[in-house]
């Protein structure tokens, strides 16, 4: 029997790692290949229980290395590519934009070339709502798939660039592709530099929780497990060449999110430290998920329940995130 071979790039990261788990739990007939270069935000301890699974294989490689990527694709003959691998932290992109362009743009280009040469069945590119820029605070206004791209940071600009390259390979070369653009993710195994895990881990270490500006910036929060189910649905049922937005309809200000975390621990707002606002900090993101809903998807997590589950995960897995904080110094 020919087994379906699914390559997950960036599978040692947060969302990609959760998607590896999702595949192994939900598609026992798939062979799952996790390709990652193991940068600071990528680690394999999250996959300890997968290591002995005969359906799982880890490949250490850098998507910026064209020759290496070409050889890997020719060796394994993947059926599908789900592309998460990216530099993704906005603050780091502001200070060091070069690696974002090299990884997110040129790395994606290398994967597309290799996919075209080996006739893969579909290339699914995981992007972000940040490529749309920002919304103002007007209620009931949302990003949809036709919203013009207007990125603000080197990170979101590099993702928008890679989105356009993916679509060009579909239109010019006929490569089967989909693009998904998600709102802010949260959940287990999130590297503790992002807002929710940073707030949780700082509280657990009796440190102040930094909040940019006045904390009024709004994000639409999506539990990573809901995101994984949506990605998998698009991989299997998405219309070729189409973009699908994935959002949770859980809009919260950054201050509300931090306040909810402090409240869980019985802490006061005195634990917040307001810091200088980020350069080019977008006011608000919010997604209209109607298009993917037509495929039959809807989120399972309400934000309140998902946040509680996430907090409890970090409380119970200190050894995982404490090691990462030490290694990233």
Cβ(111)–Cβ(68) under 8 Å? Answer: no
pLDDT tens digit string along 119-135?
A: 999 999 999 999 999 99
* Nearest to 79, CA basis, from 230, 226, 229, 236: 236
Cβ(130)–Cβ(282) under 8 Å? Answer: yes
155 found inside a domain:
yes
Q: Considering its fold, how many domains does the chain have in total?
A: 1
Q: What percent of the chain has pLDDT over 90?
A: 79
Q: What local confidence, expressed as pLDDT, does residue 52 receive?
A: 86
277 found inside a domain:
no
The stretches in the chain having pLDDT less than 50 are 328-329
Q: What local confidence, expressed as pLDDT, does residue 51 receive?
A: 82
Q: What local confidence, expressed as pLDDT, does residue 140 receive?
A: 87
Residue ranges making up the domain that contains 229: 4-190+222-248+285-300
Q: What local confidence, expressed as pLDDT, does residue 88 receive?
A: 67
Q: What local confidence, expressed as pLDDT, does residue 164 receive?
A: 98
84 found inside a domain:
yes
What CATH number is given to the structural domain containing 172? 3.40.50.720
Residue 60 bridge partners (DSSP): 36
Q: Which residues form the catalytic set?
A: 129-130, 155
Q: Positive or negative, the Cα torsion across 90, 211, 17, 79?
A: negative
151 found inside a domain:
yes
* Nearest to 211, CA basis, from 260, 267, 272, 285: 272
Collapsed DSSP state (helix, strand, coil) of residue 177: strand
pLDDT tens digit string along 185-214?
A: 999 999 988 899 999 999 999 999 999 999
11 found inside a domain:
yes
Q: What local confidence, expressed as pLDDT, does residue 108 receive?
A: 98
218: part of which helix (H) or strand (E)?
strand 218-223
305 found inside a domain:
no
Q: What local confidence, expressed as pLDDT, does residue 329 receive?
A: 46
């Amino acid at each position: 029997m020919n087994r379906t071979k699914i390559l997950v790039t960036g599978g040692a990261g947060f969302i990609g790692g959760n998607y590896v788990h999702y595949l192994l739990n939900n598609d026992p007939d798939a062979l799952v290949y996790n390709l990652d270069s193991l940068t600071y935000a990528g680690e394999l301890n999250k996959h300890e229980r997968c290591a002995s699974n005969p359906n799982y294989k880890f490949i250490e490689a850098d998507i910026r290395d064209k020759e290496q990527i070409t050889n890997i694709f020719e060796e394994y003959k993947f059926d599908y590519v789900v592309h998460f691998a990216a530099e993704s932290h906005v603050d780091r992109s502001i200070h060091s934009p070069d690696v974002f362009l090299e990884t997110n743009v040129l790395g994606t280009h290398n994967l597309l070339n290799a996919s075209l040469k080996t006739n893969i069945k579909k290339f699914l590119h995981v992007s972000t709502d940040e490529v749309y820029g920002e919304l103002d605070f007007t209620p009931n206004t949302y990003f949809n798939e036709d919203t013009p791209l207007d990125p603000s940071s080197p990170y979101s600009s590099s993702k928008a660039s890679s989105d356009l390259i993916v679509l060009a390979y579909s239109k010019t070369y006929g490569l089967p592709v989909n693009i998904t653009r998600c709102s802010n993710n949260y959940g287990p195994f999130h590297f503790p530099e992002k807002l929710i895990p940073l707030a949780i881990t700082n509280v657990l270490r009796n440190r102040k929780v930094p909040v940019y500006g006045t904390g009024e910036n709004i994000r639409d929060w999506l539990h990573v497990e809901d995101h994984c189910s949506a990605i998998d649905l698009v991989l299997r049922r998405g219309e070729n060449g189409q973009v699908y937005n994935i959002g949770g309809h859980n809009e919260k200000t950054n201050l509300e999110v931090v306040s909810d975390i402090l409240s869980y621990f019985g802490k006061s707002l005195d634990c917040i430290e307001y810091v200088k606002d980020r350069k080019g900090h977008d006011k608000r993101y919010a997604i209209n998920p109607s298009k993917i809903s037509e495929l039959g998807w809807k989120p399972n997590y309400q934000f309140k329940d998902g946040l509680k589950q996430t907090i409890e995960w970090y409380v119970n897995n200190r050894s995982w995130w404490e090691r990462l904080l030490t290694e990233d110094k």
